[in-house]
Amino acid sequence: MPLLVMKFGGTSVATLDRIRRAAKRVGREVANGYDVIVIVSAMSGKTNELVGWVNETSPLFDAREYDAVVSSGENVTAGLMALTLQEMDVPARSWQGWQVPLKTNSAHAAARIEEIPTDNLMAKFGEGMKVAVVAGFQGISPEGRITTLGRGGSDTTAVAFAAAFGAERCDIYTDVDGVYTTDPRITKKARKLDRIAFEEMLELASLGAKVLQTRSVELAMRYNVRLRVLSSFEDNNESAGTLVCSEEEIVESNVVSGVAFSRDETKMTLTAVADKPGIAAAIFGPLADAGVNVDMIIQNVSDEGRTDMTFSCPTDQVRRAEKALEDAKSSGDIDFGGLKIDGDVCKVSVVGIGMRSHAGVAARMFKALRDESINIKVIATSEIKISVLIDRKYLELAVQALHDAFGLETAA
């Protein structure tokens, strides 16, 4: 029997009516001849409420108990979904992470999936169960404790199950009807993509697009799991949504597939850094140890043995970065004159697998920004993306200008 994985996010199961609506979608796939594994998130707002209760009870909480509390939201949704399906005469059963079992490491609140044995669920499918409703976001550690996968972990759960069970497809139901060329709230010309390559989706997700969680896309790319992003609030046919797939399944695409952005960026510059072998490692090692996600890096030309080192990081990690650098300076590991912080910036990026075979993408991007009198502060590139830091006040203007410059309102 062919198998599908269907994942429903928090807004898709926010009320009993929405759970019933989602259950009807599952029922239709069962009627089409599929066995179905349904991955559910907690009802919208519930996880934030649970996290708030933990912080109010114990600001310096035990991460093991944090996981025990915040994982409970998915358990409720799984049980309600299974009951709803049973009322529709669809043989369904709910499963918590430890019952599958979804095995993880011991990194509570940010666990990594290590193994998903298929024996338990496959045995139940063999006995006539048609739908396994699995609580997303959670697993079990080698010590037998409940673990959680970090925010957005239900997407990762869904892709991991699709890979483990060899699912035909993994459908991600959310509050948007697919992946767009950019945020439709920024420009009305934004267009829904029919297909997008794993690499492009991974770049867009890491650069600020909120549709899919980055780890889930990484996992899908590694195991070639075909993902389909759909709206749970619209009637869908076979061509609905956006298919995230291998590059080989995309016959032709635009040079640039999308424009992503992140408002919450900060530019940090170390001035008068001693320019000597190993200085980059001495700077970025402590930042990595402190959990700072450094992105764009620029080193100026050396002048009399001194240089400036500029990098960007998420705004909520600036204090952590400051402390790591000051501690490294105090211990004598690095020597620098000062630290300049510019928190009034944003990151705008263009992404596309077509960049590999087309010259002039950077020139077109920079010309579009120049024509709008937008100054570029930092530039970073990869094989399929170009990112720039600019003043935050120009974010919307830059996104619209780049969307127009690359003709993203029309398909290839």
Q: Which residues are annotated as a binding site for substrate?
A: 47, 74
Which residues fall within 8 angstroms of residue 278, CB to CB, at 6 or more apart?
none
Structure tokens at 253: 């695409």
The DSSP symbol for 192 reads B
**Cβ atoms of 336 and 237 closer than 8 Å:** no
Count of CA atoms in the C-beta half-sphere (13 A) of 10:
15
Q: Between vectors from CA 35 to CA 30 and to CA 39, what angle results, nearest 5°?
A: 95
Q: Which residues contact 260 (CB under 8 A, 6 or more apart)?
A: 182, 203, 204, 207, 208, 209, 348, 349, 351
Q: Which of 317, 324, 316 is nearest to 284 (CA)?
A: 324
Segments of 57-168 assigned E as strands: 92-95, 103-104, 113-115, 131-135, 138-140, 146-148
Annotated binding site: 7-10, 47, 74, 174-175, 180, 185, 210-211
Q: Give me the phi and psi of 337, to 5 degrees please.
A: -80, -45
Binding residues for ATP: 7-10, 174-175, 180, 185, 210-211
Phi, psi for 207 (deg, rounded to 5): -95, 5
